[in-house]
């Protein structure tokens, strides 16, 4: 029954799945293993993107070697490099080794893939003006926001981020079903929290939007768990 519910809601959470995947891939604290991972710890800034954009069609893959990025490609002969850009953006570069990129797309981290511009041909500043963005709220910031709002001590539920795909069983299934059924109420990826030192699946659960900072509460109504904006 729960598997059918998850499949039924799959289309509704596809946006969140992309956000979660890219968030994990670009996390500086938890780098993923990949075919190619840059060894430099320098994060890209919007000024760096402007300089790369100025190269136009002369932009080379090696021009990106000073920045930390991760390869999403399973093809050993090509790269799909993702670079986090401070301010809530990402640069996705498609290229073969020692060659000119075929694409260099700047996107907001809050939008789905393919929603940005190729910086070699389009105006970066115009895109930023039309697509203002921001960095995601960190787990520590989420805890601080929720604790001040709810006036209670909380802890993060590290095993789950809204939109992440898994096969729940037992009490896990009840909580996961509530998250899936509430995607109309929660339109952004969240940190999930609970009252500190509460036994798992007992007590109240909360969530903080990674973009808005809104606090959501999971409540039981007529025998069904639902998420609501605090």
Task: Encode pLDDT of 97-134 as tens digits.
Answer: 778 999 999 999 888 777 899 999 999 999 999 999 99
Specify whether 167 is located in the same domain as 89: no
- Residue 145 and residue 216 in one domain: yes
State yes or no: pLDDT of 61 exceeds 70. Answer: yes
CA dist., res. 49 & res. 216, Å (int): 35
According to DSSP, the β-strands at 117-118 and 154-161 are: unpaired
> Do 106 and 153 fall within a single domain?
no
Does the pLDDT at position 59 exceed 90? Answer: yes
The dihedrals phi and psi of 86, each to the nearest 5 degrees, come to -55, 135
d(CA 128, CA 191): 26
The answer to whether residues 91 and 181 belong to one domain is no
Angle, CA 100 vertex, CA 94 and CA 105 arms, to 5°: 40
Percent of the chain with pLDDT strictly greater than 90: 38
Specify if 77 maps to a domain. yes
Sheet bearing 70-71, strands edge to edge: 70-71, 79-85, 89-95, 103-108, 117-118
Q: Which pLDDT does position 175 carry in this prediction?
A: 53
Range in 26-30, 79-83, 153-157, 171-175 the model is least confident about: 26-30
Judge whether 4 lies within some domain: no
CA distances from 105 to 3, 15, 24, 42, 169 (A): 36, 18, 19, 19, 40
Handedness of CA 162, 166, 167, 168 (dihedral sign): negative
- Domain match, 119 and 192 both: no
**HEC assignment per residue over 143-205:** HHHHHHHHCCCEEEEEEEECCCCCCCCCHHHHHHHHHHHCCCCCCCCEEEEEECCCCCCCCCE
Residue 65 domain-assigned (yes or no)? yes
For residues 229 and 185, is the Cβ–Cβ distance under 8 A?
yes
**CA atoms within 13 A of residue 15's CA, in its CB half-sphere:** 14
Please, which pLDDT band fits residue 17 given cuts at 50, 70 and 90? very low
What percentage of residues in the chain have a pLDDT greater than 70?
Answer: 67
Structural domain contains residue 16? no
Residues 160 and 108 in one domain: no
Looking at per-residue pLDDT, the higher value among 29 and 40 belongs to 40
- Tally the domains of the chain: 2
Q: Is the pLDDT of residue 21 over 60?
A: no
Expressed as residue numbers, the domain containing 124 is 31-130
Are 163 and 117 found together in one domain? no
Verify that 36 and 125 share a domain, yes or no: yes
Residue 118 shares a structural domain with residue 151:
no
pTM for this one?
0.64
Count other Cβ atoms within 10 Å, centred on residue 129: 9
Tell whether 79 and 154 lie within a shared domain.
no
Examine the domain organization and report whether 45 and 126 are in the same domain: yes
């Amino acid at each position: 029954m729960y598997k059918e519910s998850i499949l039924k809601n799959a289309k509704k959470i596809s946006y969140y799945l992309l956000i979660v995947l890219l968030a994990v891939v670009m996390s500086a604290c938890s780098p993923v293993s990949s075919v190619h991972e840059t060894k430099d710890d320098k994060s890209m800034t919007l000024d760096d993107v402007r300089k790369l954009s100025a190269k136009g069609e002369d932009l080379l893959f090696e021009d990106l070697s000073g920045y930390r990025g991760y390869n999403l490609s399973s093809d050993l002969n090509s790269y799909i490099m993702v670079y986090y850009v401070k301010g809530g953006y990402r640069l996705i570069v498609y290229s073969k080794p020692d060659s000119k990129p075929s694409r260099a797309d700047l996107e907001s981290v809050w939008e789905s893939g393919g929603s940005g511009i190729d910086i070699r041909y389009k105006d970066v500043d115009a895109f930023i003006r039309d697509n203002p963005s921001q960095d995601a709220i960190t787990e520590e910031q989420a805890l601080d926001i929720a604790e001040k709002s709810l006036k209670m001590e909380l802890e993060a539920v590290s095993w789950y981020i809204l939109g992440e795909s898994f096969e729940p069983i037992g009490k896990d299934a009840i909580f996961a079903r509530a998250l899936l059924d509430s995607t109309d109420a929660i339109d952004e990826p969240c940190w999930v929290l609970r009252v500190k030192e509460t036994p798992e699946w007992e007590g109240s659960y909360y969530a903080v939007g990674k973009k808005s900072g809104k606090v959501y509460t999971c409540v039981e109504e007529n025998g069904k768990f639902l998420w609501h904006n605090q």
